[in-house]
Structure 1
Amino acid sequence: MKKKHLWLPLLFCSYANLLMAQDRNPNGSNHGTRFEQLGTMIQDPNMYRSASGVPGPKYWQQRADYEISATLDDEKQKLTGSETITYYNNSPDPLTYLWLQLDENEHNAKSDNQSFDGSKMSDKMSMRAVNGILGNDKDLGVKIVKLTDAAGNTMHYTINQTMMRVDLAKTLMPGEQIRLKIDWWYNISDRMSEGGRGGYEYFAEDKNYLYTMAQWYPRMAVYSDFQGWQNKQFTGRGEFALTFGNFHVQMTVPADHVVGATGQCQNYKDVLSGAQFQRWQQAQNSKEPVEVVNLDEAKKSLQGKATATKTWVFDAQNVRDFAWVSSRRLVWDAMATNVEGKKVMAMSYYGPEAYPLYRRYSTKVVAHTLRSYSAHTIPYPYPVAISVEAANGMEYPMICFNYGRAEKDGTYSEATKNGMIGVITHEVGHNFFPMIVNSDERQWTWMDEGLNTFCQFMAEQEWDFNFPSSRGPAHKIVDYMKMPKDLLEPIMTNSENIVQFGPNAYAKPATALNILRETVMGRELFDFAFKEYARRWAFKHPTPADFFRTMEDASAVDLDWFWRGWFFGIEPVDIAIDSVKWYRLNSGEPTEVSSLDKAAYDRKADHIARDRNRAAGVKFAVEQDTALQDFYSKWDRFAVSSDDKAKYNQLYAGLSPEEKRLYESKKNFYEISFSNVGGLVMPIIIEWTYRDGTKETDRISAYIWRKDEYHVTKVFAKDKEVVGIKLDPQRETADIDEGNNNWPRVSLPSRFELFRQQERPRGATAGPNPMQQQTQAKTTAGQ
C-alpha cells in the first residue's frame, strides 16, 4: 500500500464574535421548516387552476356589460344615473341571487367603516380626522330608485352596507344571461374632507369644482371558482375585484365642462369646438403633447358658468370598471405614442395650478410607463391612457387620478416633481395590475399594489439614472422589517388588517420581487417567468397560488422557501459573520516548518514580565555565572539538518502531480462561520478584499441553510491573502444589521433626524424649493 502523507494545517490567525441566542423551530429542530414546500398553505390545483400556475382546462369567469346614462348636477353636487346590466353566468353553478357593489355607501353614517377604527386626539387635527370623530350627518350613499328585470318586473333586493343582493325570480342557470335595470342617485361627497377615491374638490378662488367620478355606479361583484361571491364589504381600504365587460356610457354635464373617461369618446365633434377638434386630430400623429383644450380656454371657462348641458359618449371594451373626470377648469393635452407597434393616445387633464408640472411631464410619463410596463409584462392592449391631476392617487382602466401642483408663482420643488412622476407612473401602471391581470385587492393587496410598485420601480429607474425611488431597493425596507413584531404582519394579510399598510402591501412585496430578480433568480429567468404570469392571467382572475406556481414553473427555480419567508412570515434578514479562521497548507519544507515552529515557540514563551525584565536590563543569573550554561544554553532547537532536508526531498518526490500542484499553489483557506440571526433565510453574498487592493464577490445559494437554518460554516480557497470580508456589499438582501457583516468589525456611523409630520395629498413628497428661492432672488436683484 502506498503511504499517504498528511500535511497538517497551521492556524495563522482567527477572529470571532459571540452569536446571539435564537429561537428554534417549534419541533425543537434547527432545521426543517423554512425549506419545506408550501403544501396546504396555498390552494390545491384543480381543473380550474393547474399545478403549473396556468389557467386550467375548465377555467371560467363571469362577464357583465353596462349601458349607463348619468347626469351631473353642478349646483347641488349630485349624480343621477340609470343603467342596464347584462350579466352572463359562465360558471357551472346555478345562481339564485346576484351581488352588486354600492361602494359610495362607505360614506353612509351607518356603515361599519365609519366607526370601527380607533381614534385619538392631538394638538393639531385635520378636518378629516375631526369628521371621523364627529361622524357625518350628510345624506350620503346610493339611493336605489327602481330595480327591474328586462320585462320591467320589479326585483327584490336587500342592501347590506356597501353590498346589494338581488334575488332572482328564476334561477340563472349555467350559460344563461340576465338583464337588470337600475335607476339611482347620490349626493357627491367632498373628497378632500371626507376621504374616499371619488368625489369633488372645491376651489374657493374661482368657486368651481373638480369631479373625479369613481365607484359611482352599482356594479357586479365577482363570482369566482375559488371563493364564490366576493361580497366582502368595502371599508375604504381594500380595493376592488370586478368583472370584465363592455361599457357604453353617456355623461350629461354643464356645457363648459371638459370630460375625460375610460375608453374612447364617440362624439368629440359634438362636444368640442372646431378649433379643439382640429387640435385633437393633430394630436393623433404628434410626438409632443398637443393642448386640445388649452390654458387660455380653461381660464376663460372660469369666468362664468354655463346653464346649458352637453352629453359626452364613451365606449370601452373588455374593461373591469369605468371612471371619469369632469370640470370647467381643465387643460387637456394628448399625443400619440407607439407601444409595441400599436398607437396609444397618452393624455393628461389638469387645472391651472398643475400646469407648470403637468404640461411638461405628465403625458410623457404616461407614455414612458406604458412602454416600460409593456416590455416587462404584456403589450398595453387599450387605445387610451389618461393621467388626471386631482391631488390624490387612484387608478381605473385607462384613467387615473394623481398628484402634482406647483406653487402660486409657478415654481416647484424637486421632491414635488419626483413625487408627481412617481405617482403618475404608479397609477398608470395599475392598468396592468389589476386592471388587466385582474387580482382581488379586497383579499390580497400585494397582488395589486406590490406587483405594481415593483414595476413602477423598474420604470422609474428607466426614466432617470438618478431617480430617487423610495420603494424597491432592498435597503429601503430595512426600517420596516426591524420594527417590533406587534407592528408587523405577513404580506399575505387581508387588506383591512394591515397596520403598516404602505410598507407591508407596497414596499415589502416590491422589494421581494426586486431581490428575486436581481439576487435569487437573475434577470433572465425572472423576466421570462414574470412575463409568462402576465400573459397567462391577462383579463383573468389570478390568486397568489397562480403567481407562485407560474414563477417556479417558468423558471425551474424552487422558490417555496422564498414565498414562505417573505410573504407568509415576518422574520427579517440578518446574516452575521461569527468567526473567520485563516489556514495555509503546511508544506513540510524544513526551513519553513522551522520558522513557523520558532514563531509559535516565541509566542508561547513570551509574557509581559519577560519583556519588562529585558527592557530594564536585568542581569540574569546564567549570564553572570557562565558555569551555569551547558549544551542546551547554546543549542539551536530550530536548526535544520541535512538529514531533515533529505527526508523532505524524499517525501516531496513521492507526491502525486495533483498534490504537487496544490502545494505549489500556496492557497489560502478561510473558514467562515455564519449565523442566521434574523431568521429569514437568504443567499450569502461575500465580498473579499485582498492585500493587493483587489476585490472579488462570491454568491452562495440560500440552500446552504437547508440542513441548519441558524448556523453554517464554509471554507473558501483563495489565491491571495484576504484583509477584509464583507457580507451583502451592495445591500441587496435587506439585511437589517450591517454591523455584523464585516471582518474585521467595522463601526458604522449612525444619524438621527427630527421631523414634523404633515398631511399631504397621496403621493406628495416634502422638500425644499430651490427654483422658488432662485426666482425670488432674481426678482429682488432686479428691483
Structure 2
Amino acid sequence: MRLIQLALLPALLCSTAWTTTAAFAEPSGPPAIAPVPHDDPAAPDPAVIFAPFEKGNQPNATRSGSGLPGPGYWQNRADYTIAASIETGPHVLHGSETIAYTNNSSDPLDVLWVQLDQNIYRADARARFSSRYFNGHTTDGDVIESVSVEPAKGGMPVPVPFLISDTRMQVRLPASLAPHGGRLRLHIAWHHTVPGSWGGRTAVTPTSNGDIYEMGQWFPRMAVYDDLRGWDTSPYLGQEFYLEYGDIDYSVTVPWNFIVQGSGALLNPGQVLTATERARLAQAATSDRTVMIRSPAEVTDPASRPTRSGSQTWHFRMQNTRDVAFAASAAFAWDAARLNLPPVSPAPGAKPIPRLAMSIYPVEAAANWTRSTEYVKHAIEYFSRQWYPFPWPNAINLAGHGAGMEYPGMAFDGIKDHGKELFWITTHELGHNWFPMIVGSNERRDAFMDEGFNTFIDVYASDHFNHGEYAPKRDPEYAPGGGNPADEIIPWLKDPKAPTLLEPPDLVVETYRHPITYFKGSLGLVLLREQILGPDRFDPAFRRYIAAWAYKHPTPYDFFRFMSSEGGENLSWWWRGWYEHNWTLDMGITGTSYPDNDPDHGVTIALHNKGWLLMPATLLVTSADGTATRATVPVEAWMQGNKTSITLPTHGAIRSVVLDPDLKLPDTDRSDNIFDPKP
C-alpha cells in the first residue's frame, strides 16, 4: 500500500574479496585475520550476537528446517461464486455468494470464521480506537441477510446460526467439517453502503462525469485456518489482509453506461463492449504501444456503450487468487497494451487469451495518466523476468480517490498522480502482486514481508525503467536531499522508541510505520543482497523462495531459515541484529603497523567494534605510490572479541586506510573510518 513512496538508492556494489587497482602488480596471498579476545563486559557480546537464531515457528512436518514447506504442509481452500449489483442512488452494493470451502487440515471444524472488513466503517468498530482512518465518518458495515450451509453431498442449504464480532463472523456448523479434504458450500447474502471518498480502500469518488466506485475487500471472505494457530481471527484494524487461495468467479450488475474493470479475465466482452472496443482490444493485444479503448472524448458518448438503457452484468473470473477487486463508473476512459507474457486460460479448458496492461481513469486524470499503461507494462514484465512470472490475465491501474492500494491484478491510485510519482506508485502497488498476492504472507502480523519486500523489488525496477529515467527511487519525507540510504536509516536505528521489524504492525504508531516497515524492511534486503550474500547467491535463493512459497503462507522464520540455507550462510547475527532488534553498526580503525617494521612486508590494520550490529566491511588501503588494495573483513572477525587486526600483502609505505570507502554501511560513527598513518 502506498501512503508515501519509500527511498533507496541504486543497487549497492558487493565486495567479496580483496582486489588491487591502478597499474601496479597485484599482491599475492589472502589477507590474514587475527582476532583479539573480547575483554570489555560493557561492549557488544559475541556470544549473544552469534547465538543460534531459533525463534518463531519451529521446524516440523509442515514447515521444514530449511525454510521450505514440509512434506506435511497443508492449506485450506476457498472458491467463490459471487453475484453483486450496485444501487447507485444510495451507493449500496448488494451481493450473494457461495463459498466452496475445503478443509485440508487434520482437524475437524465445528465453526467457520468469515472476515467482514466493511465493519471497520461502523461507529462501534474496534478500529475507531486505533486506526488513522475515516475522520469520524461511518456506515452500517456489512449487513448479513442470511447464512446457510449446503452439505458436501448436496441437498438444500440449511440456515445456520452466526455470530458477528466486530470485523469477524463465526458460522456454527450443524455438523463438524471432516478433516483431510472435507467440503461444504457456504451461502451468504449481504449488502453494505459504500463509503464516500473518505473510505480510502473502498470508496465512491465523484468526478465531472459520474462517480467512481472503487471496490476493495467488498465481499465476505474466509478467514485463514492454518498450521500455526488454527483460525487467524485478528480483527481488521487497517493493517491489510490474510486470506486463503482459490478461484473466484464474480459478476457485477451496473447501469448501462458504466465501464467495469476488475481482477481476472472478462468472460463476456461480447455482451458488455461495443464492436469498436473489442476491435481496439484486439489491436492492443498485439501492440507494445498504448492503444486507446475508450477515449476521454468518448466518455460522454452513448455510442461507446452497447446499450442505451437498463443495466449490464459484467462477468469476471480469476484463478488461484486470494482476493479480487473491481472499479465501476460511467466516467472511465480506458487504454491498454499487450503484456509480453505467455497467454493464459480464464477457466479450465478455455481458449488461451492474450494478456493486457490497462489503465482506467476519468477525464480529470487524462493529461497526467498518458504513460500509466507504459508503467504498468514495465512493472509486470520486469518483475516477471526478474523474480517470478505474473500468473493472471490482466494488470489494471485505476485513477480514483488515491488510496494507493493493491489487489491481485489491480492497483487503486490517484487522479492527481503524475510523472515520477505515478511511476513509483504504479510500480509499488503492482509489485504487491508478488508480495503478498503470490507469496501469501500474513500482512496483519508481518507487515515488513509485504511492504518491505515489495519496496525492495521497487528499487531495482526504478533503476531498470527507461535507462533509469526515474532512478533512484526516492522518498520526499525521509530523503529530501537524495541522500545515502545507509545514512538515512541511522536516526531510526538510534531512536530508542522505534519498533523492530518483528513488532506486530497494529502496535506500530504512524510515525514509525514507513521508516521501519517500508524503509528498514527494504534496506535490509538490499544490504543482504549487495553486502552480505552478493547477487550471485541472493538472487537465485530469493527466486526459489518465491517459487517455493507461491500461493502459500510463509512466516518470517520460514524466510530466515530459507535464505540462510539456500544462501549458504549462517545469518543468525543478521536476523537478530536487523530484524529482532534495532541494533546499530559502529566499526572503526585504531591504527596501522608494518610487520617487522618493514613496509615491504605488508601492513597490519587494527580494528575495533563498538556496535551490536555487524556486517562484512570493505577496507581500502592506498599506498604512497598510488596502488589501491581492497579487502573484506568478514563478520567472523568479531566472533571472539571486539578488537581484531588484518594483515594485507601490500608493498611500500601506506598513504591512507579507509573502512567502508563506498559508504554502503549504516555505520553510526564514521569519524574513525579513515586513518592516515604518520610518516
Question: Does residue 657 of structure 2 align to residue 725 of structure 1?
Answer: yes
Deviation for aligned residue 1:675: 2.5
Q: Does 1:30 align with 2:45?
A: yes
Aligned mate of 1:184, from 190, 199, 209:
190
* Residues 564 and 503 of structure 1, relative CA distance in 2, 3 Å threshold: same
Residue 22 of structure 1: how far off its partner (Å): 9.0
The correspondence of residues 232-243 of structure 1 with structure 2, limited to 5 A, is: 232-236=234-238, 238-243=239-244
Give CA-to-partner distance per residue, 1:495-533, whole Å, 9 cap, x none: 111230111111112111111111111111111110110
Instruction: Determine if the alignment matches structure 1 residue 355 to structure 2 residue 366.
Output: yes
What corresponds to 2:460 in structure 1?
458
Does the 8 Å CA contact 1:140/1:188 hold for their aligned counterparts? no
Q: Do the aligned partners of 1:302 and 1:329 also contact (CA within 8 Å) in 2?
A: no
Contact 1:474/1:515, CA 8 A, preserved across alignment: no
Give the counterpart letter for 1:535 in structure 2.
Answer: A
Q: Tell me by how many angstroms 1:718 deviates.
A: 1.7
Change (3 A) 1:31 1:460: same
Instruction: Quote the Cα distance in structure 2 between the aligned partners of 1:251 and 1:683.
Output: 55
Percent identical across equivalent pairs? 33
Distance 2:275 2:114 in 1: 41
Residue of structure 2 equivalent to 1:383? 393
The whole-number CA distance in structure 1 between the counterparts of 2:343 and 2:315 is 28
Q: Which amino acid aligns with 1:434?
A: P
* Residue identity in the other structure for 1:447: M
Q: Give the counterpart letter for 2:403 in structure 1.
A: N
Q: Does 1:197 align with 2:201?
A: yes
Structure 1 position 169 matched with structure 2 position 174: yes
CA-to-aligned-CA distance 1:399-426 (integer Å, 9 cap, x gap)? 11123636xxxxxxxxx51121111111
Aligned to 2:614: 681
Residue in 1 aligned with 2:33?
none
1:688–1:726 Cα contact (<8 Å) kept: yes
**Structure 2 match to 1:711:** 643
Rounded to whole Å, the distance in 1 between the matches of 2:204 and 2:671 is 50
Tell me the equivalent position of 2:68.
Answer: 54
Q: Assess if the C-alpha contact under 8 Å between 1:376 and 1:530 holds in 2.
A: no
- Give the match for residue 750 of structure 1: none
Shift of 1:672: 2.2
**What is the Cα deviation at residue 200 of structure 1?**
1.5
Name the aligned partner's letter for residue 123 of structure 2.
A
Task: Describe the superposition over 1:343-402 as per-residue Cα deviations: whole angstroms up to 9, x where unpaired.
Answer: 531111122232233222x22222221222223322222121111122231111111112
Decide whether the 8 Å contact of 2:486 with 2:663 is kept in 1: no
Question: CA shift at 1:116, angstroms?
Answer: 3.5
Q: Tell me which residue corresponds to 1:244.
A: 245
How do residues 600-639 of structure 1 correspond to structure 2 at under 5 angstroms? none
Secondary structure in 2 aligned to 1:434?
A: helix
* Partner in structure 1 of residue 384 of structure 2: 374
Offset of 1:301 from its aligned partner? 6.7
The one of 742, 746, 749 equivalent to 2:674 is 742
For 2:279, the equivalent position in structure 1 comes to: 278
1:55 partner SS = coil
Matched residue, 1:317:
319
> How do 1:290-329 and structure 2 match up within 5 A?
290-300=291-301, 308-329=310-331
Instruction: Provide runs of 4+ in structure 1 moved above 4 Å.
Output: 299-307, 340-343, 471-474
Question: Could you tell me how far 1:571 is from its partner in structure 2?
Answer: 1.1
Structure 2 residue 387 is matched with structure 1 residue 400: no
For 1:31, give the aligned amino acid. Answer: P
| Counterparts of 2:303 and 2:632, CA distance in 1 | 63
How far off is 1:54 after superposition? 1.5
Q: Tell me which amino acid in the other structure corresponds to 1:180.
A: L
DSSP 3-state at the match of 1:738: coil
Matching of residue 155 in structure 1 with residue 88 in structure 2: no
208, 216, 219: which one aligns with 1:217: 219
Flag the 1:513–1:139 CA change in 2: closer, same or farther, 3 A: closer
Q: State the partner residue of 1:538.
A: 550
Counterpart in 1 of 2:32?
none
- Aligned counterpart in structure 2 of residue 431 of structure 1, from 421, 430, 433: 433
* Residue equivalent to 2:12: none
1:359 match: secondary structure: coil
Q: Which moved more, 1:256-265 or 1:390-399?
A: 390-399
Q: 1:559 aligns with which of 571, 577, 581?
A: 571
Give the aligned CA root-mean-square deviation in angstroms.
2.6
Deviation at 1:216, TM superposition (A): 0.5
CA distance in 2 between counterparts of 1:540 and 1:693 reads 55
Q: Could you tell me which of 607, 620, 630 is aligned with 1:697?
A: 630
Post-superposition shift, 1:334?
Answer: 1.3
**Contact 1:104-1:216 at 8 Å conserved across structures:** yes
Judge conservation of contact 1:107–1:140 (CA < 8 Å) in 2.
Answer: yes
CA contact (8 A) 2:67 2:557 kept: yes
Residue 474 of structure 2 is matched in structure 1 by: 470
- Gap change, CA 1:251 and 1:64, over 3 Å in 2: same
Aligned-residue offset at 1:481: 3.5
Paired residues of 1:241 and 1:439 also in contact (CA < 8 A): yes
Q: Matched residues in 1 for 2:171 and 2:249: separation? A: 23
Higher helix share: 1
Q: CA deviation at 1:202?
A: 2.0
Counterpart of 1:145 in structure 2 is 145
**Would you say the 8 A contact 2:620–2:629 is kept in 1?**
yes
Tell me the distance in 2 between the aligned counterparts of 1:23 and 1:239: 44
Question: Residue 479 in 1 paired to residue 479 in 2?
Answer: no
Question: Highest Rg: 1 or 2?
Answer: 1
The Cα offsets for residues 452-474 of structure 1, whole Å up to 9 and x where unpaired, read as 11111111111143512137999
Q: How many Å apart are 1:561 and its aligned residue?
A: 1.2
The secondary structure found in structure 2 opposite 1:277 is helix
Query: 2:254 corresponds to which residue?
Result: 253
Take 1:36 and 1:178, find their aligned partners in 2: how far apart are those partners?
48
Q: Is 1:581 the equivalent of 2:592?
A: yes
Cα separation, partners in 2 of 1:584 and 1:37, compared to 1, 3 Å: closer
d(CA) in 1 for partners of 2:570 and 2:595?
Answer: 37
Amino acid of the structure 1 residue aligned with 2:139: D
- Residues 245 and 474 of structure 1: CA distance in aligned 2, closer, same or farther (over 3 Å): farther
SS in 2 for 1:248: strand
| Deviation of 1:319 (Å) | 0.7
What code does the residue aligned with 1:542 have? Answer: P
Given that 2:440 and 2:553 are in contact with CA atoms closer than 8 Å, whether structure 1 keeps it comes out as yes
Matching residue of 2:350: none
**Are residue 528 (structure 1) and residue 531 (structure 2) matched?**
no
SS in 2 for 1:526: helix
CA distance in 1, matches of 2:404, 2:324: 16
How many matched pairs?
Answer: 612
User: Once the 2 structures are TM-superposed, how far is the Cα of residue 693 of structure 1 from its aligned partner?
Assistant: 3.8
Matches within 5 A, 1:66-145: 66-116=80-130, 132=135, 135-136=136-137, 138-145=138-145
In the TM superposition, what is the alpha-carbon distance from 1:101 to its structure 2 partner? 0.4
The amino acid that maps onto 1:256 is N
What amino acid is aligned across from residue 386 of structure 2 in structure 1?
Answer: H
Q: Distance in 2 between matches of 1:268 and 1:368?
A: 26
What residue identity is the alignment partner of 1:575?
Answer: M
Please give the alpha-carbon distance, in whole angstroms, between the structure 1 residues aligned to 2:592 and 2:293: 71
**TM-score normalized by structure 1?**
0.74
Query: How is 1:587-602 mapped onto 2 (pairs within 5 angstroms)?
Result: none
Rate the CA distance shift 1:340–1:36 in 2: closer, same or farther, 3 A. Answer: farther
SS of the residue aligned with 1:68?
strand
Shift in Å at residue 154 of structure 1? 1.5
Any conservation in 1 of the 2:343–2:355 contact (CA below 8 Å)?
Answer: no
Please tell me whether the aligned partners of residues 529 and 535 of structure 2 are also in contact (alpha carbons under 8 angstroms). Answer: yes
Give how far 1:712 is off.
2.9
Query: Is contact 2:139-2:195 (8 Å) kept?
Result: no
> For residues 168 and 56 of structure 1, what CA distance do their matches in structure 2 show?
30
